[in-house]
Structure 1
Amino acid sequence: MTLDSANQLKKVWQRWQWILWMIVIAIIYIWAIGGIKFSGLQDSAGSVSKSILSGLVSPEWSYVYDGSGEDLISLIFQTLAIAFLGTFISAIISVPFAFWAARSIKERFFLRSGSGKVVLTLIRTFPEIVLAIMFIKAVGPGSYAGVLAVSIHSIGMLGKLFSEAIENMDRGAEEAINSVGGNAAQVFMLATLPIITPEFVSYTLYRFEIAVRSAAILGMVGAGGIGTPMIFAIQTRNWPRVGIILLGIIIMVLVIDTISEQMRKRLV
Protein backbone atom coordinates (compact mmCIF):
# COMPACT_ATOMS: atom_id res chain seq x y z
CA MET A 1 0.00 0.00 0.00
CA THR A 2 1.42 3.33 -1.08
CA LEU A 3 1.54 6.44 1.06
CA ASP A 4 -1.08 8.19 -1.09
CA SER A 5 -3.56 5.33 -0.80
CA ALA A 6 -3.02 5.18 2.95
CA ASN A 7 -3.73 8.90 3.25
CA GLN A 8 -6.86 8.50 1.13
CA LEU A 9 -8.12 5.68 3.36
CA LYS A 10 -7.42 7.79 6.40
CA LYS A 11 -9.39 10.72 4.96
CA VAL A 12 -12.29 8.43 4.05
CA TRP A 13 -12.29 7.00 7.57
CA GLN A 14 -12.21 10.45 9.18
CA ARG A 15 -15.08 11.57 6.96
CA TRP A 16 -17.39 8.59 7.40
CA GLN A 17 -16.48 7.19 10.81
CA TRP A 18 -19.49 8.91 12.38
CA ILE A 19 -21.72 6.52 10.43
CA LEU A 20 -20.02 3.54 12.06
CA TRP A 21 -20.44 5.09 15.51
CA MET A 22 -24.12 5.80 14.81
CA ILE A 23 -24.62 2.16 13.81
CA VAL A 24 -22.87 0.94 16.98
CA ILE A 25 -24.96 3.26 19.18
CA ALA A 26 -28.16 2.16 17.42
CA ILE A 27 -27.31 -1.50 17.99
CA ILE A 28 -26.67 -0.83 21.70
CA TYR A 29 -30.00 1.01 22.05
CA ILE A 30 -31.89 -1.76 20.25
CA TRP A 31 -30.23 -4.38 22.45
CA ALA A 32 -31.03 -2.40 25.64
CA ILE A 33 -34.66 -1.74 24.70
CA GLY A 34 -35.12 -5.35 23.63
CA GLY A 35 -34.29 -6.49 27.17
CA ILE A 36 -37.11 -4.45 28.71
CA LYS A 37 -40.40 -6.23 29.19
CA PHE A 38 -43.25 -3.75 28.77
CA SER A 39 -46.15 -4.99 30.87
CA GLY A 40 -48.46 -2.12 29.97
CA LEU A 41 -50.49 0.16 32.23
CA GLN A 42 -52.79 -1.09 34.97
CA ASP A 43 -56.50 -0.34 34.86
CA SER A 44 -56.19 1.93 37.91
CA ALA A 45 -53.36 4.02 36.43
CA GLY A 46 -55.68 6.85 35.36
CA SER A 47 -57.44 7.25 38.73
CA VAL A 48 -54.17 6.98 40.66
CA SER A 49 -52.54 9.61 38.43
CA LYS A 50 -55.45 11.98 39.00
CA SER A 51 -55.18 11.48 42.78
CA ILE A 52 -51.45 12.16 42.75
CA LEU A 53 -51.89 15.27 40.60
CA SER A 54 -54.66 16.65 42.80
CA GLY A 55 -52.52 16.09 45.89
CA LEU A 56 -49.57 17.87 44.33
CA VAL A 57 -51.74 20.80 43.24
CA SER A 58 -53.40 21.15 46.66
CA PRO A 59 -50.70 20.23 49.23
CA GLU A 60 -51.32 19.84 52.96
CA TRP A 61 -50.19 23.26 54.19
CA SER A 62 -50.97 22.41 57.83
CA TYR A 63 -48.06 19.94 57.77
CA VAL A 64 -45.50 22.70 57.21
CA TYR A 65 -45.08 23.34 60.95
CA ASP A 66 -47.10 22.14 63.92
CA GLY A 67 -44.48 22.13 66.70
CA SER A 68 -44.45 18.35 67.04
CA GLY A 69 -40.94 17.88 65.70
CA GLU A 70 -42.35 15.60 63.00
CA ASP A 71 -43.50 18.41 60.71
CA LEU A 72 -41.98 19.45 57.39
CA ILE A 73 -39.65 22.20 58.63
CA SER A 74 -38.28 20.09 61.49
CA LEU A 75 -37.56 17.12 59.24
CA ILE A 76 -36.00 19.31 56.54
CA PHE A 77 -33.58 20.68 59.15
CA GLN A 78 -32.89 17.10 60.21
CA THR A 79 -32.15 16.21 56.58
CA LEU A 80 -29.78 19.17 56.27
CA ALA A 81 -28.06 18.13 59.51
CA ILE A 82 -27.53 14.58 58.20
CA ALA A 83 -26.06 15.92 54.94
CA PHE A 84 -23.87 18.52 56.67
CA LEU A 85 -22.46 16.21 59.32
CA GLY A 86 -21.86 13.39 56.83
CA THR A 87 -20.08 15.74 54.42
CA PHE A 88 -18.04 17.40 57.20
CA ILE A 89 -16.80 14.06 58.54
CA SER A 90 -15.97 12.73 55.09
CA ALA A 91 -14.13 15.92 54.07
CA ILE A 92 -11.72 15.52 56.99
CA ILE A 93 -11.18 11.78 56.54
CA SER A 94 -10.78 12.13 52.76
CA VAL A 95 -7.64 14.30 53.01
CA PRO A 96 -5.18 11.52 53.97
CA PHE A 97 -6.84 9.21 51.45
CA ALA A 98 -6.35 11.89 48.78
CA PHE A 99 -2.61 12.22 49.44
CA TRP A 100 -2.38 8.42 49.45
CA ALA A 101 -4.09 8.14 46.03
CA ALA A 102 -2.44 11.18 44.38
CA ARG A 103 0.33 10.31 41.93
CA SER A 104 3.69 11.87 42.64
CA ILE A 105 6.22 12.93 40.02
CA LYS A 106 8.93 11.01 41.88
CA GLU A 107 6.84 7.83 42.11
CA ARG A 108 8.07 5.35 39.49
CA PHE A 109 5.60 2.45 39.45
CA PHE A 110 2.59 4.14 41.09
CA LEU A 111 2.21 1.34 43.62
CA ARG A 112 1.32 3.70 46.46
CA SER A 113 -1.11 5.86 44.49
CA GLY A 114 -2.54 2.85 42.69
CA SER A 115 -3.41 1.11 45.94
CA GLY A 116 -5.00 4.32 47.22
CA LYS A 117 -7.14 4.63 44.11
CA VAL A 118 -8.28 1.02 44.48
CA VAL A 119 -9.32 1.64 48.09
CA LEU A 120 -11.29 4.77 47.13
CA THR A 121 -12.97 2.87 44.31
CA LEU A 122 -13.99 0.09 46.69
CA ILE A 123 -15.41 2.63 49.15
CA ARG A 124 -17.61 4.37 46.59
CA THR A 125 -18.72 1.09 44.99
CA PHE A 126 -21.54 0.75 47.50
CA PRO A 127 -24.45 3.14 46.86
CA GLU A 128 -25.56 5.28 49.78
CA ILE A 129 -28.92 3.55 50.06
CA VAL A 130 -27.20 0.15 50.38
CA LEU A 131 -24.89 1.55 53.06
CA ALA A 132 -27.91 3.02 54.85
CA ILE A 133 -29.65 -0.38 54.93
CA MET A 134 -26.47 -2.00 56.25
CA PHE A 135 -26.00 0.62 58.97
CA ILE A 136 -29.67 0.42 59.95
CA LYS A 137 -29.09 -3.26 60.69
CA ALA A 138 -25.96 -2.36 62.68
CA VAL A 139 -27.00 0.74 64.67
CA GLY A 140 -30.76 0.80 64.22
CA PRO A 141 -32.99 3.12 62.20
CA GLY A 142 -32.63 6.88 62.49
CA SER A 143 -30.37 9.78 61.63
CA TYR A 144 -27.20 8.09 62.90
CA ALA A 145 -27.43 5.46 60.15
CA GLY A 146 -28.02 8.22 57.59
CA VAL A 147 -24.94 10.17 58.71
CA LEU A 148 -22.77 7.04 58.50
CA ALA A 149 -24.06 6.18 55.03
CA VAL A 150 -23.48 9.70 53.67
CA SER A 151 -20.04 10.04 55.25
CA ILE A 152 -18.69 6.65 54.12
CA HIS A 153 -19.85 7.07 50.53
CA SER A 154 -18.60 10.67 50.42
CA ILE A 155 -15.11 9.56 51.48
CA GLY A 156 -14.77 7.65 48.23
CA MET A 157 -16.06 10.54 46.13
CA LEU A 158 -14.20 13.37 47.85
CA GLY A 159 -11.01 11.32 48.10
CA LYS A 160 -11.02 10.88 44.32
CA LEU A 161 -11.71 14.59 43.66
CA PHE A 162 -9.11 15.72 46.21
CA SER A 163 -6.45 13.41 44.77
CA GLU A 164 -7.06 14.75 41.26
CA ALA A 165 -6.75 18.31 42.59
CA ILE A 166 -3.39 17.41 44.14
CA GLU A 167 -2.16 15.78 40.92
CA ASN A 168 -3.17 18.75 38.75
CA MET A 169 -2.00 21.55 41.05
CA ASP A 170 0.56 24.12 39.91
CA ARG A 171 3.98 23.05 41.22
CA GLY A 172 5.66 26.40 40.59
CA ALA A 173 5.39 27.62 44.18
CA GLU A 174 6.75 24.34 45.53
CA GLU A 175 9.75 24.51 43.19
CA ALA A 176 10.42 28.11 44.19
CA ILE A 177 10.52 27.27 47.91
CA ASN A 178 12.67 24.21 47.26
CA SER A 179 15.11 26.31 45.23
CA VAL A 180 15.78 28.62 48.21
CA GLY A 181 16.36 25.73 50.60
CA GLY A 182 12.90 25.23 52.09
CA ASN A 183 12.18 21.94 53.83
CA ALA A 184 9.22 19.63 53.24
CA ALA A 185 7.10 21.18 56.01
CA GLN A 186 7.64 24.69 54.65
CA VAL A 187 6.79 23.57 51.12
CA PHE A 188 3.56 21.99 52.34
CA MET A 189 2.46 24.91 54.55
CA LEU A 190 3.49 27.78 52.24
CA ALA A 191 2.84 26.31 48.79
CA THR A 192 0.81 23.08 48.70
CA LEU A 193 -1.82 23.88 51.32
CA PRO A 194 -2.76 27.40 50.08
CA ILE A 195 -3.15 26.11 46.52
CA ILE A 196 -5.28 23.03 47.19
CA THR A 197 -7.45 24.39 50.03
CA PRO A 198 -9.83 26.45 47.80
CA GLU A 199 -10.40 23.46 45.53
CA PHE A 200 -10.93 21.16 48.50
CA VAL A 201 -13.56 23.52 49.92
CA SER A 202 -15.22 23.89 46.50
CA TYR A 203 -15.46 20.11 46.05
CA THR A 204 -16.79 19.76 49.60
CA LEU A 205 -19.56 22.28 48.91
CA TYR A 206 -20.44 20.48 45.69
CA ARG A 207 -20.55 17.18 47.54
CA PHE A 208 -22.80 18.74 50.18
CA GLU A 209 -25.30 19.64 47.45
CA ILE A 210 -25.41 15.98 46.41
CA ALA A 211 -25.58 14.80 50.03
CA VAL A 212 -28.70 16.92 50.63
CA ARG A 213 -30.51 15.06 47.86
CA SER A 214 -29.22 11.72 49.10
CA ALA A 215 -30.25 12.41 52.69
CA ALA A 216 -33.78 13.18 51.50
CA ILE A 217 -33.95 9.72 49.90
CA LEU A 218 -32.25 7.72 52.66
CA GLY A 219 -35.19 8.33 54.98
CA MET A 220 -37.28 6.08 52.74
CA VAL A 221 -35.35 3.08 54.10
CA GLY A 222 -35.43 4.35 57.70
CA ALA A 223 -32.24 6.44 57.86
CA GLY A 224 -33.94 9.59 59.17
CA GLY A 225 -34.82 12.85 57.50
CA ILE A 226 -37.71 13.92 55.31
CA GLY A 227 -37.78 10.66 53.35
CA THR A 228 -39.41 8.74 56.20
CA PRO A 229 -42.74 10.63 56.28
CA MET A 230 -42.71 10.77 52.47
CA ILE A 231 -42.64 6.98 52.08
CA PHE A 232 -45.36 6.64 54.74
CA ALA A 233 -47.50 9.20 52.90
CA ILE A 234 -47.01 7.36 49.61
CA GLN A 235 -47.91 4.01 51.15
CA THR A 236 -51.09 5.44 52.70
CA ARG A 237 -51.91 7.37 49.48
CA ASN A 238 -51.88 10.67 51.35
CA TRP A 239 -51.10 12.66 48.21
CA PRO A 240 -51.60 16.15 49.71
CA ARG A 241 -48.85 15.36 52.22
CA VAL A 242 -46.67 13.94 49.48
CA GLY A 243 -47.21 17.20 47.59
CA ILE A 244 -46.11 19.46 50.46
CA ILE A 245 -43.08 17.24 51.19
CA LEU A 246 -41.97 17.35 47.54
CA LEU A 247 -42.47 21.11 47.50
CA GLY A 248 -40.32 21.43 50.63
CA ILE A 249 -37.58 19.26 49.12
CA ILE A 250 -37.57 21.33 45.91
CA ILE A 251 -37.24 24.60 47.83
CA MET A 252 -34.52 23.15 50.09
CA VAL A 253 -32.47 21.90 47.13
CA LEU A 254 -32.82 25.17 45.20
CA VAL A 255 -31.72 27.27 48.19
CA ILE A 256 -28.75 25.01 48.97
CA ASP A 257 -27.66 24.91 45.32
CA THR A 258 -27.85 28.70 45.00
CA ILE A 259 -25.88 29.39 48.18
CA SER A 260 -23.27 26.72 47.39
CA GLU A 261 -22.82 27.99 43.83
CA GLN A 262 -22.19 31.53 45.02
CA MET A 263 -19.67 30.33 47.61
CA ARG A 264 -17.82 28.18 45.05
CA LYS A 265 -17.60 31.10 42.63
CA ARG A 266 -15.85 33.18 45.28
CA LEU A 267 -13.41 30.40 46.15
CA VAL A 268 -12.29 29.35 42.67
Structure 2
Amino acid sequence: MNKTKTTAFERLKWLIVAALIIIIYIWSINGIPFTGIQKSASSVSMAIFKGIIHPEWSYVYNGSGEDLLSQLVITLAIAFLGTIISAFLSVPLAFLAAQTTKNFFHPRSTIGKVILTAIRAFPEVVLAILFIKMVGPGSFAGVLAIGVHSVGMLGKLFSEAIEEMDRSAETAIIAAGGTKIQTFRIATLPTILPALMSYTLYRFEISVRSASILGLVGAGGIGTPMMFALQTRDWSKTGIILLGIVVMVIVIDTCSSAIRKRLG
Protein backbone atom coordinates (compact mmCIF):
# COMPACT_ATOMS: atom_id res chain seq x y z
CA MET A 1 0.00 0.00 0.00
CA ASN A 2 2.77 2.40 0.94
CA LYS A 3 4.63 1.48 -2.22
CA THR A 4 1.55 2.25 -4.31
CA LYS A 5 1.15 5.64 -2.62
CA THR A 6 4.82 6.43 -3.19
CA THR A 7 4.56 5.53 -6.89
CA ALA A 8 1.44 7.68 -7.30
CA PHE A 9 3.13 10.58 -5.53
CA GLU A 10 6.20 10.30 -7.77
CA ARG A 11 4.02 10.33 -10.88
CA LEU A 12 2.07 13.33 -9.62
CA LYS A 13 5.30 15.16 -8.83
CA TRP A 14 6.66 14.63 -12.34
CA LEU A 15 3.34 15.68 -13.88
CA ILE A 16 3.44 18.93 -11.89
CA VAL A 17 7.04 19.56 -12.96
CA ALA A 18 6.17 18.86 -16.61
CA ALA A 19 3.14 21.18 -16.41
CA LEU A 20 5.27 23.98 -14.93
CA ILE A 21 7.87 23.57 -17.69
CA ILE A 22 5.17 23.76 -20.37
CA ILE A 23 3.63 26.86 -18.76
CA ILE A 24 7.02 28.60 -18.54
CA TYR A 25 7.77 27.62 -22.16
CA ILE A 26 4.48 29.08 -23.41
CA TRP A 27 4.99 32.22 -21.32
CA SER A 28 8.50 32.65 -22.78
CA ILE A 29 7.23 32.34 -26.35
CA ASN A 30 4.43 34.85 -25.76
CA GLY A 31 6.86 37.27 -24.14
CA ILE A 32 9.10 37.47 -27.23
CA PRO A 33 7.67 39.60 -30.06
CA PHE A 34 8.24 37.91 -33.43
CA THR A 35 8.87 40.63 -36.01
CA GLY A 36 9.31 38.25 -38.92
CA ILE A 37 12.24 37.58 -41.23
CA GLN A 38 13.80 40.48 -43.09
CA LYS A 39 13.44 40.56 -46.87
CA SER A 40 17.23 40.72 -47.25
CA ALA A 41 17.80 37.64 -45.06
CA SER A 42 18.10 35.18 -47.95
CA SER A 43 20.47 37.38 -49.99
CA VAL A 44 22.69 38.13 -46.99
CA SER A 45 22.76 34.46 -45.99
CA MET A 46 23.73 33.43 -49.51
CA ALA A 47 26.43 36.12 -49.62
CA ILE A 48 27.93 34.88 -46.33
CA PHE A 49 27.76 31.28 -47.56
CA LYS A 50 29.54 32.24 -50.79
CA GLY A 51 32.15 34.08 -48.74
CA ILE A 52 32.83 30.92 -46.73
CA ILE A 53 33.09 28.85 -49.92
CA HIS A 54 35.31 31.45 -51.62
CA PRO A 55 37.34 32.93 -48.73
CA GLU A 56 39.99 35.59 -49.15
CA TRP A 57 43.07 33.39 -48.78
CA SER A 58 45.43 36.34 -49.16
CA TYR A 59 44.22 37.59 -45.77
CA VAL A 60 45.53 34.50 -43.96
CA TYR A 61 49.00 36.04 -43.62
CA ASN A 62 50.47 39.12 -45.27
CA GLY A 63 53.01 40.29 -42.67
CA SER A 64 51.05 43.44 -41.78
CA GLY A 65 50.14 42.34 -38.27
CA GLU A 66 46.47 42.82 -39.17
CA ASP A 67 46.13 39.51 -40.99
CA LEU A 68 44.18 36.46 -39.83
CA LEU A 69 47.01 34.54 -38.17
CA SER A 70 48.20 37.61 -36.26
CA GLN A 71 44.69 38.35 -34.99
CA LEU A 72 44.11 34.73 -33.99
CA VAL A 73 47.36 34.77 -32.01
CA ILE A 74 46.20 37.96 -30.26
CA THR A 75 42.86 36.28 -29.52
CA LEU A 76 44.62 33.27 -28.00
CA ALA A 77 46.86 35.58 -25.96
CA ILE A 78 43.82 37.45 -24.60
CA ALA A 79 42.13 34.18 -23.62
CA PHE A 80 45.30 32.72 -22.09
CA LEU A 81 46.23 35.78 -20.02
CA GLY A 82 42.65 36.28 -18.87
CA THR A 83 42.36 32.65 -17.81
CA ILE A 84 45.70 32.63 -15.96
CA ILE A 85 44.79 35.83 -14.09
CA SER A 86 41.41 34.42 -13.10
CA ALA A 87 42.89 31.06 -12.05
CA PHE A 88 45.22 32.71 -9.52
CA LEU A 89 42.56 35.10 -8.22
CA SER A 90 39.98 32.32 -7.93
CA VAL A 91 41.97 30.16 -5.51
CA PRO A 92 41.63 32.36 -2.37
CA LEU A 93 37.99 33.12 -3.22
CA ALA A 94 37.35 29.39 -3.69
CA PHE A 95 38.69 28.58 -0.21
CA LEU A 96 36.58 31.44 1.14
CA ALA A 97 33.44 30.09 -0.54
CA ALA A 98 34.04 26.39 0.17
CA GLN A 99 31.84 25.01 2.94
CA THR A 100 34.00 22.55 4.84
CA THR A 101 31.55 21.92 7.70
CA LYS A 102 28.00 20.56 7.75
CA ASN A 103 26.51 23.56 9.53
CA PHE A 104 23.25 24.87 8.05
CA PHE A 105 24.59 28.44 7.94
CA HIS A 106 28.26 29.09 7.28
CA PRO A 107 29.01 32.87 7.31
CA ARG A 108 32.42 32.64 5.62
CA SER A 109 31.18 30.35 2.87
CA THR A 110 28.06 32.48 2.34
CA ILE A 111 30.11 35.64 1.91
CA GLY A 112 32.41 33.90 -0.58
CA LYS A 113 29.51 32.50 -2.60
CA VAL A 114 27.81 35.91 -2.73
CA ILE A 115 31.03 37.52 -4.03
CA LEU A 116 31.46 34.88 -6.74
CA THR A 117 27.79 35.14 -7.75
CA ALA A 118 28.05 38.92 -8.00
CA ILE A 119 31.11 38.62 -10.25
CA ARG A 120 29.38 36.06 -12.50
CA ALA A 121 26.35 38.33 -12.84
CA PHE A 122 28.20 40.64 -15.26
CA PRO A 123 28.55 39.24 -18.80
CA GLU A 124 31.96 39.48 -20.44
CA VAL A 125 30.68 41.89 -23.11
CA VAL A 126 29.42 44.30 -20.44
CA LEU A 127 32.73 44.07 -18.58
CA ALA A 128 34.61 44.64 -21.84
CA ILE A 129 32.63 47.84 -22.49
CA LEU A 130 33.30 49.04 -18.93
CA PHE A 131 37.03 48.32 -19.19
CA ILE A 132 37.20 49.98 -22.61
CA LYS A 133 35.94 53.15 -20.93
CA MET A 134 38.60 52.75 -18.22
CA VAL A 135 41.71 51.69 -20.14
CA GLY A 136 40.73 52.41 -23.74
CA PRO A 137 39.95 50.01 -26.60
CA GLY A 138 42.31 47.17 -27.30
CA SER A 139 43.49 43.80 -26.07
CA PHE A 140 44.13 44.94 -22.49
CA ALA A 141 40.42 45.60 -21.99
CA GLY A 142 39.68 42.11 -23.35
CA VAL A 143 42.14 40.48 -20.94
CA LEU A 144 40.59 42.31 -17.98
CA ALA A 145 37.05 41.41 -19.05
CA ILE A 146 37.82 37.71 -19.42
CA GLY A 147 39.96 37.67 -16.28
CA VAL A 148 37.31 39.26 -14.04
CA HIS A 149 34.38 37.27 -15.43
CA SER A 150 36.26 33.97 -15.26
CA VAL A 151 37.00 34.54 -11.57
CA GLY A 152 33.32 34.01 -10.77
CA MET A 153 33.03 30.75 -12.69
CA LEU A 154 36.41 29.27 -11.75
CA GLY A 155 35.90 30.28 -8.12
CA LYS A 156 32.62 28.37 -8.06
CA LEU A 157 34.14 25.27 -9.68
CA PHE A 158 37.23 25.41 -7.46
CA SER A 159 35.11 25.74 -4.30
CA GLU A 160 33.04 22.70 -5.29
CA ALA A 161 36.24 20.73 -5.87
CA ILE A 162 37.45 21.72 -2.39
CA GLU A 163 34.14 20.71 -0.82
CA GLU A 164 34.12 17.29 -2.51
CA MET A 165 37.79 16.41 -2.01
CA ASP A 166 38.88 13.33 -0.08
CA ARG A 167 40.04 14.56 3.34
CA SER A 168 41.52 11.30 4.62
CA ALA A 169 45.08 12.50 3.94
CA GLU A 170 44.41 15.75 5.79
CA THR A 171 43.05 13.84 8.78
CA ALA A 172 46.11 11.56 8.88
CA ILE A 173 48.59 14.46 8.79
CA ILE A 174 46.70 16.40 11.48
CA ALA A 175 46.59 13.27 13.64
CA ALA A 176 50.37 12.93 13.23
CA GLY A 177 50.83 16.48 14.54
CA GLY A 178 51.22 18.32 11.25
CA THR A 179 50.66 22.06 11.04
CA LYS A 180 48.05 23.75 8.82
CA ILE A 181 50.73 24.76 6.32
CA GLN A 182 52.10 21.22 6.17
CA THR A 183 48.58 19.82 5.78
CA PHE A 184 47.85 22.20 2.91
CA ARG A 185 51.18 21.55 1.15
CA ILE A 186 51.27 17.77 1.56
CA ALA A 187 47.58 16.79 1.47
CA THR A 188 45.19 19.51 0.32
CA LEU A 189 47.06 20.96 -2.65
CA PRO A 190 48.10 17.65 -4.30
CA THR A 191 44.54 16.34 -3.89
CA ILE A 192 42.74 19.26 -5.54
CA LEU A 193 45.45 20.33 -8.04
CA PRO A 194 44.36 17.96 -10.88
CA ALA A 195 40.77 19.20 -10.59
CA LEU A 196 41.88 22.85 -10.53
CA MET A 197 44.04 22.38 -13.63
CA SER A 198 41.25 20.53 -15.44
CA TYR A 199 38.73 23.29 -14.67
CA THR A 200 41.24 25.93 -15.76
CA LEU A 201 41.76 24.21 -19.12
CA TYR A 202 38.00 23.92 -19.58
CA ARG A 203 37.61 27.60 -18.82
CA PHE A 204 40.37 28.41 -21.32
CA GLU A 205 38.32 26.69 -24.03
CA ILE A 206 35.37 28.98 -23.19
CA SER A 207 37.62 32.04 -22.98
CA VAL A 208 38.90 31.43 -26.53
CA ARG A 209 35.33 31.68 -27.82
CA SER A 210 34.64 34.73 -25.68
CA ALA A 211 37.81 36.49 -26.85
CA SER A 212 36.64 36.03 -30.44
CA ILE A 213 33.44 37.94 -29.63
CA LEU A 214 34.87 40.72 -27.46
CA GLY A 215 36.60 42.28 -30.46
CA LEU A 216 33.15 43.22 -31.77
CA VAL A 217 32.93 45.87 -29.03
CA GLY A 218 36.55 46.99 -29.45
CA ALA A 219 38.32 44.73 -26.94
CA GLY A 220 40.90 43.43 -29.42
CA GLY A 221 41.35 40.09 -31.13
CA ILE A 222 39.82 38.58 -34.24
CA GLY A 223 36.41 40.09 -33.51
CA THR A 224 37.58 43.56 -34.54
CA PRO A 225 38.45 42.75 -38.21
CA MET A 226 35.33 40.57 -38.38
CA MET A 227 33.21 43.55 -37.31
CA PHE A 228 34.79 45.74 -40.01
CA ALA A 229 34.31 42.99 -42.61
CA LEU A 230 30.63 42.67 -41.73
CA GLN A 231 30.09 46.43 -41.78
CA THR A 232 31.69 46.77 -45.23
CA ARG A 233 29.95 43.60 -46.49
CA ASP A 234 33.30 42.05 -47.35
CA TRP A 235 31.94 38.51 -47.32
CA SER A 236 35.12 36.84 -48.57
CA LYS A 237 37.07 38.24 -45.64
CA THR A 238 34.20 37.37 -43.31
CA GLY A 239 34.35 33.81 -44.63
CA ILE A 240 38.07 33.34 -44.00
CA ILE A 241 37.73 34.86 -40.52
CA LEU A 242 34.89 32.48 -39.65
CA LEU A 243 36.89 29.53 -40.96
CA GLY A 244 39.89 30.65 -38.92
CA ILE A 245 37.82 30.87 -35.75
CA VAL A 246 36.33 27.41 -36.34
CA VAL A 247 39.74 25.82 -36.91
CA MET A 248 41.21 27.58 -33.86
CA VAL A 249 38.38 26.46 -31.58
CA ILE A 250 38.55 22.85 -32.84
CA VAL A 251 42.32 22.66 -32.28
CA ILE A 252 42.09 24.21 -28.80
CA ASP A 253 39.20 21.95 -27.76
CA THR A 254 41.00 18.84 -29.01
CA CYS A 255 44.28 19.65 -27.25
CA SER A 256 42.53 20.73 -24.05
CA SER A 257 40.37 17.59 -23.95
CA ALA A 258 43.43 15.39 -24.40
CA ILE A 259 45.26 17.14 -21.55
CA ARG A 260 42.23 17.00 -19.26
CA LYS A 261 41.86 13.24 -19.87
CA ARG A 262 45.45 12.72 -18.77
CA LEU A 263 44.88 14.84 -15.67
CA GLY A 264 41.64 13.08 -14.84
Shorter-chain TM range is: over 0.9
SS in 2 for 1:213: helix
SS in 2 for 1:39: coil
CA distance in 2 between partners of 1:159 and 1:135 (Å): 21
CA displacement at 1:34 relative to structure 2? 1.4
Range moving further from structure 2, 120-129 or 107-116 = 107-116
Written as runs of structure 1 = structure 2, the 5 A alignment for 1:5-154 is 8-15=4-11, 17-105=13-101, 109-154=105-150
CA distance in 2 between partners of 1:48 and 1:179 (Å): 70
CA displacement at 1:181 relative to structure 2? 1.4
CA displacement at 1:40 relative to structure 2? 1.7
CA distance in 1 between partners of 2:127 and 2:102 (Å): 37
CA distance in 2 between partners of 1:158 and 1:241 (Å): 35
CA distance in 1 between partners of 2:221 and 2:20 (Å): 44
CA displacement at 1:24 relative to structure 2? 2.5
CA displacement at 1:21 relative to structure 2? 3.2
Range moving further from structure 2, 106-115 or 26-35 = 106-115
Tell me, which stretches of 5 or more residues in structure 2 are unaligned?
none
Deviations 1:22-42 (A, max 9, x none): 333222222111122222222
Using the size of structure 1 for normalisation, the TM-score is: 0.94
SS in 2 for 1:185: helix
Range moving further from structure 2, 38-47 or 16-25 = 16-25
CA distance in 2 between partners of 1:11 and 1:262 (Å): 44
Range moving further from structure 2, 29-38 or 200-209 = 29-38
Deviations 1:169-222 (A, max 9, x none): 000001111121111111111101110111111111111000000000000000
Range moving further from structure 2, 246-255 or 99-108 = 99-108
CA distance in 2 between partners of 1:16 and 1:157 (Å): 36
Q: Tell me how large the CA RMSD over aligned residues is.
A: 1.6
SS in 2 for 1:30: helix
Deviations 1:80-100 (A, max 9, x none): 000000111111111111111
Question: Identity over the aligned pairs, expressed in percent?
Answer: 63
CA distance in 2 between partners of 1:62 and 1:116 (Å): 50
Q: Which residue of 1 aligns with 2:158?
A: 162
Of 254, 261, 265 in structure 1, the residue corresponding to residue 257 of structure 2 is 261
CA distance in 2 between partners of 1:14 and 1:159 (Å): 36
Using the size of structure 2 for normalisation, the TM-score is: 0.95
Letter aligned with residue 8 of structure 2: V
Q: Which residue of 2 aligns with 1:208?
A: 204
Q: Which residue of 2 aligns with 1:171?
A: 167
Deviations 1:58-78 (A, max 9, x none): 111110000000000000000
CA distance in 2 between partners of 1:64 and 1:9 (Å): 67
CA displacement at 1:112 relative to structure 2? 0.7
CA distance in 1 between partners of 2:118 and 2:152 (Å): 8
CA distance in 1 between partners of 2:6 and 2:258 (Å): 48
Higher Rg: 1
- Residues 80 and 175 from structure 1, CA distance in 2 versus in 1: closer, same or farther, beyond 3 angstroms? same
Of 219, 230, 233 in structure 1, the residue corresponding to residue 229 of structure 2 is 233
CA distance in 1 between partners of 2:10 and 2:109 (Å): 37
Q: Which residue of 2 aligns with 1:224?
A: 220
CA distance in 1 between partners of 2:168 and 2:19 (Å): 47
CA distance in 1 between partners of 2:10 and 2:156 (Å): 35
Letter aligned with residue 42 of structure 1: Q
Deviations 1:131-178 (A, max 9, x none): 000000111000000000000001111111111111110000011111
Tell me, which stretches of 5 or more residues in structure 1 are unaligned?
none
